[in-house]
Amino acid sequence: MPKRSDIKKILIIGAGPIIISQACEFDYSGTQACKALKEEGFEVVLINSNPATIMTDPETADKVYIEPVNVETLCKVIEKERPDAILPTLGGQTALNTAIEAEKTGIFAKYNVEMIGASIDAINKAEDRELFRNAMNKINLRIPKSGFATNMHEVEAVSKRIGFPIIVRPSFTLGGTGGGVAYNSEELETFCKAGLDASLNTQVMLEESVLGWKEYELEVMRDHADNVVIICSIENIDAMGVHTGDSITVAPAQTLSDKEYQKLRDASIAIIREIGVDTGGSNVQFAINPENGDMIIVEMNPRVSRSSALASKATGFPIAKIAAKLAVGYTLDEIPNDITGETLACFEPSIDYVVVKIPRWTFEKFPEAEDVLSTAMKSVGETMSIGRTFKEAFQKGLRSLEIGRAGFGADGKDPLPGSVAGNELEHKLSTPNSQRLFYIKYALEHGMPITMLHELTFIDPWFLHQMKQIVDLEKQITLAGKDLPRDLFEKAKKFGFSDTQLAFLSGGLTDKQIAQRRKDLGIVPVFKLVDTCAAEFRAVTPYYYSTYESECEARVSDIKKVIILGGGPNRIGQGIEFDYCCVHASFALKEEGVESIMVNSNPETV
């Protein structure tokens, strides 16, 4: 079907200031949506209060209101602008909550404003824990045993029925704000008081613990004709109990059998239909019991999320842009894929590489904060890396964090042998923390069996074996010393080892000497295309990652070029404002007829 002709003006709600669990990924999605809707001839009005965003630039929307993202402002803007529709699914939890509260005032009905992307009923069904539980029961999908409380008396009654440990999940919050895992009554009281304060409807769900189960996410899109596509599967390396924003994640999922994947796929489609997200993207999170394959539904976000930005960059499928076009009446089989220029949005992405996302924490800025990861998100940014194997992408991701590490160790910054006592090591492995990966390496180097590591960390043995292969190759490289043979050199690069790591392991060579020897041996990186279709169709958009293979897919023009270096992962003191600068530098160069080449590792950026 063609776009809707009864809508002329659309109001988009932004995400407001950057906070932990809501960062520049919503600038990315909002900017895409503004561009897509303006392309289609709609007048776009935007409310956002963050001056460092691209979406608040005068040319992004037709009208921009730099105002607080709250109900009062939204009502005033609606009264003045009289939009035909409002799109709240691209501004994170802030936009959703603001739209829900505004609807209660009667402002939408008064001025005949339609909510597109997701209806109030769909948002409530997904965000209200009790309504969500009822919806899952209706389609015979299991969720953890749980109960709801709106005061501390009810908390006590529900906790007696469920038993400890208990996961506290406040309704209508972002990034697990106010929640956590309670192992006793004192912790339960602390989390529930915070959760009730943070919740939009003063409600918390107390949930049976599934700590240790494997966690997966699927990004799903649906149009009003009920066509549904799965954009990307994402696997959390950290087991349940760690917020997905604080977990290292991998796309596509690595440890699912095809049967298990199809089970998650079928469940995702059933969920998006039952919740009633008519158009746009949603994120569905699952937990799988590694012992018997039992599946439960963790939650569903009826909007674009942090994972949506990652999935967009991982696959090349512009989720927010497509979501905006679906919201105004198009169907998936009518929207072309920008990357290939040949396929349509109903063509599910297929990728022939591995993407790893690693969170960036800044516990060093807050010495009194405990370095423990739980169900409330604590990371301030993230980095994304792409490689032909998990090992390559994993090591690239670690050095992209800009925390002074050259990869998975082998850089002189690992704990010295014998410096970590047995009890301390077990504690660091069993308690999720920002440095746990490097304690895993220490344990592997000191001979801890994979089975014991798995019992302590609940990380799937497949990932632990991958890490052990890196550690084993490191030992071989060390034994070879300065005379690293070509086959071992090439293998090291395919395992993601940097020149800095190889120089350290050589016992005397410098980075430059290693780089020169590598070039002399003809071991140089090539660039591969991210094309959404595993090279089945020729890609039009030049979007690359580096790896060590024979064929280079980079298309080099004769135009004058400038490389723009991005800011890498967000951190305290360096955030979205540098994305803004890089984007405008690219625009300026394009105006001057100069080709710009962007180099960055941040999946949240425009």
* pLDDT for position 495: 97
The CATH number of 359-524, from 3.20.20.220, 3.30.70.890, 1.10.1030.10, 3.30.200.20, is 1.10.1030.10
Mean pLDDT taken over the chain: 90
3-state secondary structure of 579: helix
Query: 402 near 497, Cβ under 8 Å?
Result: no
* pLDDT for position 537: 57
* pLDDT for position 278: 86
Domain-wise residue ranges, the chain: 9-116, 126-141+212-351, 146-208, 359-524, 556-605
**pLDDT-wise least confident of 211-215, 450-454, 512-516:** 211-215
If pLDDT is split at 50, 70 and 90, which confidence band does 114 have?
very high
Count CB neighbours of 14 within 10 A: 31
If pLDDT is split at 50, 70 and 90, which confidence band does 175 have?
low
User: How distant, in Å, are the alpha carbons of 131, 218, 230, 285, 385 from that of 233?
Assistant: 26, 5, 8, 10, 16
Q: Give the pLDDT confidence of 586-599 residue by residue, as tens digits.
A: 999 999 999 999 99
273-284 burial code (b ≥16 CB/10 A, e <16): ebbbbbbbbbbb
* pLDDT for position 535: 57
Largest CA distance in the chain: 78
Q: Phi and psi for 124 in degrees, rounded to 5?
A: -65, -40
* pLDDT for position 45: 96
Residue 293, Cα to own-chain centre: how many angstroms? 25
pLDDT of residue 606 exceeding 70: no
3-state secondary structure of 472: helix
pLDDT of residue 109 exceeding 90: yes
Q: Give the pLDDT confidence of 280-299 residue by residue, as tens digits.
A: 889 999 999 998 889 999 98
C-alpha 191/C-alpha 179 separation (Å) is 6
Query: 243 near 374, Cβ under 8 Å?
Result: yes
C-alpha 528/C-alpha 456 separation (Å) is 37
If pLDDT is split at 50, 70 and 90, which confidence band does 387 have?
very high
According to CATH, what is the number of the domain 126-141+212-351?
Answer: 3.30.470.20
68-87 burial code (b ≥16 CB/10 A, e <16): ebbbebbbebbeebebbbbb
* pLDDT for position 449: 97
pLDDT of residue 509 exceeding 90: yes
Question: Span 243-261, mean pLDDT?
Answer: 92
Question: Span 148-176, mean pLDDT?
Answer: 83
C-alpha 8/C-alpha 424 separation (Å) is 62
Q: Give the pLDDT confidence of 54-106 residue by residue, as tens digits.
A: 888 888 999 999 999 999 999 999 999 999 999 998 888 889 889 999 999 99
Q: Do domains 9-116 and 556-605 have the same CATH topology?
A: yes
* pLDDT for position 110: 95
Considering the domain delimited by 146-208, tell me its CATH architecture. 2-Layer Sandwich (3.30)
Residue with tokens 């997966």: 216
* pLDDT for position 90: 86
* pLDDT for position 570: 85
Instruction: Render 56-116 in DSSP notation, one character per residue.
Output: TSTTTSSEEEES--SHHHHHHHHHHH--SEEE-TTSHHHHHHHHHHHHHTTHHHHTTPEE-
C-alpha 526/C-alpha 546 separation (Å) is 6
If pLDDT is split at 50, 70 and 90, which confidence band does 452 have?
very high
Q: Give the pLDDT confidence of 532-575 residue by residue, as tens digits.
A: 665 555 666 778 999 999 899 888 899 999 999 999 998 887 87
147-170 burial code (b ≥16 CB/10 A, e <16): bbbeeeebbeebbeebeebbbbbb
Query: 86 near 116, Cβ under 8 Å?
Result: yes
pTM above 0.75, yes or no: yes
Count CB neighbours of 347 within 10 A: 18
Beta sheet of 280-288, edge-to-edge order: 295-301, 280-288, 214-222, 228-236, 249-251, 354-360, 381-387
Question: Span 23-37, mean pLDDT?
Answer: 85
Q: Phi and psi for 161 in degrees, rounded to 5?
A: -75, -35
Q: Give the pLDDT confidence of 302-361 residue by residue, as tens digits.
A: 887 778 888 888 888 888 899 999 999 999 999 988 776 777 888 888 889 999 999 999
pLDDT of residue 409 exceeding 80: yes
CA angle 254, 246, 449 (to 5 degrees): 55
* pLDDT for position 577: 82
The CATH number of 556-605, from 3.90.650.10, 3.40.50.20, 3.90.550.10, 3.40.228.10, is 3.40.50.20
Q: Quick one: 512 exposed, middle or buried, by C-beta within 10 A (0-12, 13-18, 19+)?
A: exposed
CATH topology of domain 9-116: Rossmann fold (3.40.50)
Question: Span 238-247, mean pLDDT?
Answer: 91
Q: Which of 120, 125, 89, 101 is nearest to 222 (CA)?
A: 89
For residue 419, give both structure tokens. 């410096």
Question: Span 509-516, mean pLDDT?
Answer: 95
Percent of the chain at pLDDT exceeding 90: 57
